[in-house]
Copies of this chain bind each other. A is one copy, B any other.
């Protein structure tokens, strides 16, 4: 399974590169082939050369369409967590970032969803590969609070809809069958859901 020009483009998407030879080594092909790819990619307007070779807006757009990584939807059932979310949301270090990032002040508590369907599992896995909106980490005295990622979504249940966001801690390897939700409103009340009720998330 040889590397292809798409590998080269994806490499360029991660950062500029100095020469065809360097690219060749990194993707595992010959200098000549790398040179040809760079030429063709340039002809297509996917990359440009100034000092180094770098991806253009065009190329980046092409890739992001290919990745189409955002799953469209994802569903699961409500369950009661240990109330950790509430604790984290109370930290000013995080709080200060929400408005700017999500456009709302979250209700001080998260709603937990457990996923069962394989399709949604896959969606959850794919979701975590996206950068999403980054919530920076911070330090507070002795304790370190890591960065997290947010994915805005629409939350539906009982023919009602609320806005919100999935929040995923960046470092800790949270189980992939669990999804934690933020929202400006108290979701259990706004949607009229209780434990074991089904929710549907539409990513935006």
Contact = CB atoms under 8 A, between A and B. Distances in A.
A92 interface: no
* Interface residue SS majority, chain A: helix
Contacts of A131: 68
Interface string A12-23: 011100000000
Contact of A26 (B1, B41, B69, B121): B121
Contacts of A4: 4-6
Contact of A122 (B27, B40, B67): B27
**Interface size bucket, A side?**
20 to 34
Interface of A: 1, 4-7, 10-11, 13-15, 25-28, 40-41, 44, 54, 60, 64, 66-69, 117-119, 121-122, 125-126, 129, 131
